[in-house]
Amino acid sequence: MKLSVDQQAFLTLRKLGIQAIGIIEFDEVYGPMPKFIHSQHAKLVRRILQDQLFSMKLSVLSKYASEATLADDLRVIIETFRSSGDNRAKINFIVAQVSEEADYARVRALLRDISKRLSTAERIDKESLERILCEAL
């Protein structure tokens, strides 16, 4: 599902060097699945949507690193968050595609703030996620 933010939030994301954001939730049956995206024309989002295994690869990467430069020069910052599943806590993650000139410390802090808010949310839907994103900025 595509996320929409107002012009001010969009400009703030760009100023930080964030080119795209994806929220990947763990599904009990299918594993890591893309749930929300921002900036559907960015390389990260295209890969998430076109390659079903890419979310799984990012999930494995998130266990070992908080940022990486992938083979196609795609720079990503990843932050995990937990949500409750049927019988156990599910590990989900936020991934941001960033430019080379991005303010990595501020992007990590933003993603950490969003992940803390999502961890305490009873339910993650489009409207609440858009609100959380704008509040965190």
Query: 22 near 94, Cβ under 8 Å?
Result: yes
pLDDT at 85 (0 to 100): 61
pTM for this one?
0.87
Inter-CA distances, 72 with 15, 18, 44, Å? 23, 17, 10
Model pLDDT for residues 57-86, shown as the tens digit of each residue = 999 999 898 999 988 889 999 999 988 766
Q: Is the pLDDT of residue 122 over 80?
A: no
Domain count, the chain: 1
Whether residue 94 lies inside any domain: the answer is yes
Whether residue 51 lies inside any domain: the answer is yes
Look at strands 75-84 and 67-69 and give their pairing: antiparallel
What is the average pLDDT across 29-56?
Answer: 88
Residue numbers of the domain that contains 13: 7-136
Domain of 52, CATH number, reads: 3.30.450
Whether residue 118 lies inside any domain: the answer is yes
Measured over the CA atoms of residue 29, residue 43, residue 69 and residue 107, the dihedral's sign is negative
H-type alpha helices, 4-86: 7-16, 43-50, 54-64
Whether residue 90 lies inside any domain: the answer is yes
* Nearest CA among 107, 111, 127 for reference residue 119: 111
pLDDT at 86 (0 to 100): 63
| Choice between 1 and 109, residue whose per-residue pLDDT is larger | 109
* Mean of the per-residue pLDDT values of the chain: 89
